[in-house]
């Protein structure tokens, strides 16, 4: 059931108990975790933090802890499956789920006792009403696999309608309001919100935008909400005479450039490696390089300055940089080079934009060092979000730079060697094993980022009008010893895309029909693991399914 008063029904319940926190491996979940940890520290609530990477992990973690804990908080996992059926908990276990995955499973919505959803009842949930799905007690609850009963025609007609409703409801997968923002609202209601928590909520929201999980409209609306909180915090402490210490954290609204990490890199590198500029200029081609030189010349920026570290650039250039770049980029067809975001500023040296921190934390979370387990990387990524761990954040930024360069090079090579094939209802690309940096792309977030950039680049480079509207499926080697590949599917690229992804169900059906050996372990159902040998028959099944 949905929780209406998050303070009474969630916080006041757990504040005197021991709680197990099961946190998924994405940046929004990490930020939500930090906020919750800070609240728990204030009230000295005992908790255990368990990072989980997939459904199997969740199951094992639950089995390990079910004896000692009655209250479980799940962040960014668990809303989109029938949790009680999967975990088989005892009667007195209560689950608080704060998850961005939609659609929320109907069983979770209509369970009154054990499942509490910390989710806002927005308009975009569209949960079918109780009577539409659930029948009398002697019939099974409807689920989307459909019942194969052979009752009389009237009940089976009704059941078909229920199945249809459920099928429509669960067909597309998308994301809702950031979990970090939900927990920040809890902190706000408790009047315990600090600037640190506000910053984490902003990072959670920016993570959803960077990894393309929410629509542009929703991003802008949520930014406006955060902006209200930011102005409230800024007016609280500062006035003309009593200025705040320089070490205090200042968050400011920025209408900043869409160049990834440009303040920690050189401007030139950032332009070359940001998806937006690289796709618009088509920097994988010689023509594109020339256009870039023209662009820089048009703005009057000397090459020597532009290739320097951003902090060492001339002050006179840095002053009006944003306006100058916006003007010039309008001439080259890039109308949205600026995006609304937030930046933080503390101490004399430390300025970061929210997207910088997202990229750094994502690089740390998915770093492919040999002797680091999933929990090590999780803890490192969690640490880099604190203000006191700046070296870790800088290390993350360096890793993110390498990751971005790798992505751009892979995109360039895929486009130039025409590795993207149109299979009819979708585009398909397979990364061979020997590709440089292919290990980076065995991780889900990095692979989705690569998919997104590749699709954008493809849309800009192809002349085939029909291909521009196709979704993309990408496969990359995941585990060489076990012989598996990771397969990810993303919806088609468009200006007004609603980011709804149907590949989850499609993958399931294709795997069933060909009995391929797949593992649907990831919380995003559009990312699966597949045995390399079954790749071709799986793809053929998909093609027939989606045609």
Partner 1 sequence: MPIVHNGAVTSCVFFAVSGNSYSAGTFISSTVGVPALTHSFCKQNNPAVQTMDPSEVEFLAEKEMVKIIPNFSLDKIYLIGGDLGPFNPGLPVDVPVWLALNLKQRQKCRIVPPEWMDVEKLEEIRELERKEDAFTPVPSPYYMELTKLLLNHASDNIPKADEIRTLVKDIWDTRIAKLRLSADSFISQQEAHAKLDNLTLMEINTTRTFLLDSLNCMYKLRSNLQPGSNKGKALDY
| 406 Ramachandran zone, left/alpha/beta (phi>0; psi -120 to 50) | alpha
Among 5, 7, 12, 41, binds partner 1 (CB under 8 A): 41
Q: Cα–Cα–Cα angle for 410, 375, 192, nearest 5°?
A: 105
β-bridge partners, 477: 485
In whole angstroms, the minimum distance from the beta carbon of 44 to partner 1 comes to 8
Rounded to whole angstroms, the Cα distance separating 244 from 239 reads: 8
Number of chain positions touching partner 1 (CB under 8 A): 16
Among 67, 92, 240, 241, binds partner 1 (CB under 8 A): 241
Based on the shown chain and the rule CB under 8 A, indicate whether residue 46 belongs to the binding site for partner 1: no
In whole angstroms, the minimum distance from the beta carbon of 38 to partner 1 comes to 9
Based on the shown chain and the rule CB under 8 A, indicate whether residue 316 belongs to the binding site for partner 1: no
Based on the shown chain and the rule CB under 8 A, indicate whether residue 388 belongs to the binding site for partner 1: no
Based on the shown chain and the rule CB under 8 A, indicate whether residue 417 belongs to the binding site for partner 1: no
Nearer to partner 1 among residue 344 and residue 474 (C-beta): 344
Based on the shown chain and the rule CB under 8 A, indicate whether residue 439 belongs to the binding site for partner 1: no
Based on the shown chain and the rule CB under 8 A, indicate whether residue 43 belongs to the binding site for partner 1: yes
Nearer to partner 1 among residue 197 and residue 542 (C-beta): 197
Based on the shown chain and the rule CB under 8 A, indicate whether residue 192 belongs to the binding site for partner 1: yes
In whole angstroms, the minimum distance from the beta carbon of 3 to partner 1 comes to 23
Among 237, 252, 320, 515, binds partner 1 (CB under 8 A): 237
Rounded to whole angstroms, the Cα distance separating 356 from 307 reads: 19
Contact 426, 469 (CB under 8 A): no
Q: Cα–Cα–Cα angle for 205, 207, 209, nearest 5°?
A: 75
Based on the shown chain and the rule CB under 8 A, indicate whether residue 12 belongs to the binding site for partner 1: no
**Distance of alpha carbon 113 from the chain centroid:** 30
Based on the shown chain and the rule CB under 8 A, indicate whether residue 244 belongs to the binding site for partner 1: yes
In whole angstroms, the minimum distance from the beta carbon of 20 to partner 1 comes to 22
Nearer to partner 1 among residue 246 and residue 303 (C-beta): 246
Based on the shown chain and the rule CB under 8 A, indicate whether residue 247 belongs to the binding site for partner 1: yes
Nearer to partner 1 among residue 192 and residue 531 (C-beta): 192
Dihedral (CA of 388, 389, 393, 398) sign: positive
Window of 16-24, 187-195, 198-206, 417-425 that interacts with partner 1 by CB under 8 A: 187-195
What residues contact residue 272 under an 8 Å CB cut-off, 6+ apart?
Answer: 278, 283, 292, 408
Q: How many residues does the chain have?
A: 547
Nearer to partner 1 among residue 42 and residue 421 (C-beta): 42
Window of 239-247, 305-313, 472-480, 495-503 that interacts with partner 1 by CB under 8 A: 239-247
Residue 208: Cβ within 10 Å count: 26
One-character DSSP codes across 51-107: EE-SHHHHHHHHHHHTTT-SEEEEESSSTTS-HHHHH---TT-EEEEE--EESPPHH
Among 5, 8, 42, 287, binds partner 1 (CB under 8 A): 42
Nearer to partner 1 among residue 198 and residue 279 (C-beta): 198
Q: For residues 350-385, b (16+ Cβ closer than 10 Å) or e, as one string?
A: ebbbbbbbbbbbbbbbbbeeeeeeeeebbebbbbbb
β-bridge partners, 485: 477, 530
Among 17, 46, 88, 243, binds partner 1 (CB under 8 A): 243
Dihedral (CA of 93, 94, 100, 102) sign: positive
Based on the shown chain and the rule CB under 8 A, indicate whether residue 7 belongs to the binding site for partner 1: no
Nearer to partner 1 among residue 68 and residue 242 (C-beta): 242
Q: What is the DSSP letter of 8?
A: I
Nearer to partner 1 among residue 375 and residue 389 (C-beta): 389
Among 86, 151, 217, 246, binds partner 1 (CB under 8 A): 246
Window of 188-196, 209-217, 481-489, 506-514 that interacts with partner 1 by CB under 8 A: 188-196
Nearer to partner 1 among residue 289 and residue 389 (C-beta): 389
Based on the shown chain and the rule CB under 8 A, indicate whether residue 245 belongs to the binding site for partner 1: yes
Nearer to partner 1 among residue 197 and residue 337 (C-beta): 197
Among 191, 373, 388, 547, binds partner 1 (CB under 8 A): 191
In whole angstroms, the minimum distance from the beta carbon of 149 to partner 1 comes to 57
Where does 282-367 have alpha helices with state H? 286-299, 303-306, 315-319, 321-331, 354-365
**Token digits for 235?**
């007016």
Rounded to whole angstroms, the Cα distance separating 424 from 427 reads: 7
Nearer to partner 1 among residue 39 and residue 427 (C-beta): 39
Determine what percent of the chain falls in helix, strand and coil, rounding each to the nearest 5: 50, 15, 35
Contact 385, 30 (CB under 8 A): yes
Based on the shown chain and the rule CB under 8 A, indicate whether residue 194 belongs to the binding site for partner 1: yes
Window of 68-76, 241-249, 399-407, 455-463 that interacts with partner 1 by CB under 8 A: 241-249
Contacts 24+ apart (CB under 8 A), 385-394: 385/30, 385/31, 385/34, 385/200, 385/203, 385/357, 385/361, 386/34, 387/196, 387/249, 387/346, 390/350, 392/364, 393/352, 393/357, 393/360, 394/264, 394/360
In whole angstroms, the minimum distance from the beta carbon of 322 to partner 1 comes to 29
Contact 217, 155 (CB under 8 A): no
In whole angstroms, the minimum distance from the beta carbon of 198 to partner 1 comes to 14
β-bridge partners, 360: none
Note the residues at the interface with partner 1 (CB under 8 A): 41-44, 191-192, 194, 237, 241-248
């Amino acid at each position: 059931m949905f929780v209406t008063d998050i303070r009474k029904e969630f916080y006041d319940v757990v504040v005197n108990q021991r709680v197990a926190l099961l946190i998924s491996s994405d940046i929004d979940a990490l930020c939500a975790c930090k906020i919750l940890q800070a609240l728990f520290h204030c009230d000295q609530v005992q908790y255990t933090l368990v990072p989980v990477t997939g459904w199997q992990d969740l199951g094992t973690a639950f089995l390990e802890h079910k004896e000692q804990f009655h209250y479980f908080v799940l962040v960014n996992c668990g809303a989109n499956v029938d949790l009680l059926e999967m975990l088989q908990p005892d009667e007195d276990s209560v689950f608080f789920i704060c998850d961005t995955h939609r659609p929320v499973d109907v069983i979770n919505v209509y369970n009154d006792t054990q499942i509490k959803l910390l989710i806002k009842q927005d308009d975009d949930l569209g949960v079918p009403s109780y009577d539409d799905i659930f029948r009398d007690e002697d019939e099974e609850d409807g689920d989307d696999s459909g019942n194969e009963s052979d009752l009389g025609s009237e009940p089976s007609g009704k059941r078909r309608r229920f199945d249809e409703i459920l099928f429509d409801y669960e067909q597309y997968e998308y994301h809702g309001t950031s979990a970090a923002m939900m927990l920040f609202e809890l902190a706000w209601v408790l009047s315990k919100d600090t600037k640190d928590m506000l910053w984490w909520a902003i990072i959670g929201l920016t993570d959803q935008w960077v990894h393309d999980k929410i629509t542009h409209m929703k991003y802008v609306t949520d930014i406006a909400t955060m902006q209200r909180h930011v102005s409230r915090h800024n007016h609280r402490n500062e006035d003309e005479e009593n200025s705040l210490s320089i070490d205090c954290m200042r968050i400011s609204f920025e209408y900043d450039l869409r160049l990834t990490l440009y303040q920690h890199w050189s401007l030139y590198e950032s332009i070359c490696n940001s998806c937006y500029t690289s796709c618009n200029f088509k920097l994988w081609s010689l023509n594109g390089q020339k256009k870039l030189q023209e662009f820089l010349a048009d703005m009057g920026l000397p090459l020597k300055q532009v290739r320097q570290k951003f902090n060492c650039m001339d002050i006179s250039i840095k002053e009006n940089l944003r306006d100058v770049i916006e003007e010039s980029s309008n001439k080259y067809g890039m109308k949205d080079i600026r995006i609304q975001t937030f930046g933080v500023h503390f101490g004399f040296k430390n300025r970061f934009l929210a997207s910088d921190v997202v990229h750094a934390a994502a690089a740390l979370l998915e770093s492919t060092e040999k002797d680091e387990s999933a929990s090590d990387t999780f803890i490192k990524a969690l640490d880099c979000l604190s203000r006191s761990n700046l070296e870790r954040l800088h290390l993350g930024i360096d890793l993110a730079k390498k990751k971005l360069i790798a992505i751009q090079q892979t995109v360039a090579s895929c486009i130039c060697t025409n590795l993207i094939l149109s299979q009819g209802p979708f585009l398909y690309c397979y990364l061979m094993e020997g590709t440089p940096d292919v290990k980076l792309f065995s991780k889900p977030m990095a692979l989705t980022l690569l998919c997104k950039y590749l699709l954008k680049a493809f849309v800009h480079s192809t002349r085939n009008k029909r291909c521009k509207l196709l979704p993309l499926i990408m496969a990359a080697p995941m585990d060489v010893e076990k012989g598996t590949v990771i397969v990810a599917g993303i919806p088609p690229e468009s200006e007004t895309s609603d980011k709804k992804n149907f590949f989850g169900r499609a993958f399931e059906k294709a795997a069933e029909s060909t009995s391929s050996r797949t593992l649907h372990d990831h919380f995003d159902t559009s990312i699966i693991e597949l045995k390399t040998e079954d790749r071709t028959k799986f793809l053929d099944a998909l093609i027939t399914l989606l045609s």
